[in-house]
């Protein structure tokens, strides 16, 4: 019976053997949360007249390695704490469903961190060694997100921490290593991006609300309850788009950034996808739509900054 249920979960989540097992371990749908901030920070640097494309690529690879490692730490520690089982959704499932040894996942996560640190040496040589200190602190937060005695992911502050470090901090580092400066506009532009990234976690926690509650977690979704958490999701989606319009109006963003409004349709899908749903499997499309909103918004925002270089268009 357990094997049958396991196979049903695999079929529902379209899980396949072989290379697909390791690909799922990376949780590729979450990697846009690291790609988007680096892309935006670098496009802002181009707009301000400074870009080193090799440095951009190295920064992008380092950020995605850290994100993937954080996902693996999540997989490992949730398994060790007994939070994940073969029926859990929203995870790679490499340990509980595919039989990959937990220690292998942990070693791979540490290896990704080491590779990111080696890339960080090059980044520092091209910019400033203070970047290494900031980067190491961000990596520590990535580890403590699910590792350590008091995992951040189990508290009401997970959305705030993930949004700030993966949004504002990562955009800031990406911009700084190119320009050796931090601008007010960069900080302002990072805010809606940080909100979108935080909403990915909120959507994840809405989907996993019942399971997290049973395991003693105190996430924001649990404290608010499902209906209020969905309302909060809606409010922050609207806030991000409103900020974008305000920034366009006051000249912080170019008119081309109105292209980001094309992502509203996906945000609406995310909100309506949660409404009336009772099981975590039913809520998977809404979770995916939330992550896709961040991806589409971020790519369009970065693209709008790039277009502005060649075709200036502002109020």
Structure confidence by residue, pLDDT tens digits, 25-74: 888 877 888 999 999 999 999 988 889 999 999 999 999 999 999 988 98
Domain count, the chain: 1
Q: What is the pLDDT of residues 235-250, one digit of tens each?
A: 999 999 999 999 999 9
Q: Which domain holds residue 200?
A: 25-303
Within-domain flag for 59: yes
Per the domain annotation, does 282 fall within a domain? Answer: yes
d(C-alpha 115, C-alpha 119), whole Å: 6
The pLDDT of residue 158: 95
CA 43 to chain centre: 19
> Distance (Å, rounded) from C-alpha 163 to C-alpha 105?
25
Which pLDDT score is estimated for 4?
Answer: 41
Mean pLDDT rounded to a whole number for the chain: 89
* Both tokens assigned to 64: 């995605």
Q: Which residue has the tokens 């400074």?
A: 50
Residue 166 falls inside a structural domain: yes
Do residues 275 and 230 lie in contact, with contact meaning Cβ atoms separated by under 8 Å?
A: yes
For the segment 114-128, the average pLDDT, to the nearest whole number, is 95
5 domain residue, yes or no: no
pLDDT of residue 15: 56
In a domain, 315, yes or no: no
**Residue 185: inside a domain, yes or no?**
yes
Find the CATH number of the domain harbouring 89: 1.10.600
Mention every residue, 6+ apart, whose C-beta is less than 8 A from residue 114. none
Query: What is the pLDDT averaged over residues 255-279?
Result: 95
Whether 84 is covered by a domain: the verdict is: yes
Does residue 244 lie within any of the structural domains? yes
pLDDT above 90 covers what percent of the chain? 68
């Amino acid at each position: 019976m357990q094997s049958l249920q396991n196979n049903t979960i695999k079929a529902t989540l379209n899980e396949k053997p072989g290379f697909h097992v390791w690909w799922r371990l990376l949780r590729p749908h979450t990697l846009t949360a690291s790609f988007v901030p680096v892309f935006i920070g670098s496009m802002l640097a181009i707009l301000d007249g400074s870009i080193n494309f090799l440095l951009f690529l190295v920064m992008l690879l380092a950020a995605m390695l850290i994100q993937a490692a954080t996902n693996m730490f999540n997989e490992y520690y949730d398994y060790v704490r007994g939070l994940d089982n073969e029926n859990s959704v929203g995870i790679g499932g490499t340990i509980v469903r595919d039989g990959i040894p937990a220690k292998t996942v942990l070693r791979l996560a540490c290896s990704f961190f080491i590779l990111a640190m080696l890339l960080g040496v090059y980044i520092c040589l091209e910019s400033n060694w203070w970047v290494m200190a900031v980067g190491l602190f961000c990596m520590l937060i990535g580890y403590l997100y699910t590792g350590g005695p008091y995992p951040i992911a189990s508290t009401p502050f997970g959305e705030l921490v993930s949004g700030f470090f993966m949004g504002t901090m990562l955009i800031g580092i990406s911009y700084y290593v190119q320009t050796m400066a931090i601008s007010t506009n960069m900080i302002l532009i990072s805010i809606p991006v940080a909100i979108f990234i935080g909403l990915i976690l909120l959507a994840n926690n809405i989907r996993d609300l019942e399971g997290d509650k049973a395991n003693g977690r105190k996430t924001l979704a649990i404290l608010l309850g499902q209906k209020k958490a969905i309302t909060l999701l809606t409010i922050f989606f609207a806030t991000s788009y409103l900020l974008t319009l305000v920034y366009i109006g006051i000249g912080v963003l170019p008119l081309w950034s109105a292209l980001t409004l094309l992502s509203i349709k996906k945000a609406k899908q995310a909100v309506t996808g949660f409404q009336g749903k009772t099981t975590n499997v039913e809520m998977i499309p809404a979770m995916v739509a939330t992550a896709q909103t961040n991806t589409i918004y971020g790519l369009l925002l970065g693209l709008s900054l790039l277009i502005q270089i060649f075709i200036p268009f502002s109020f």
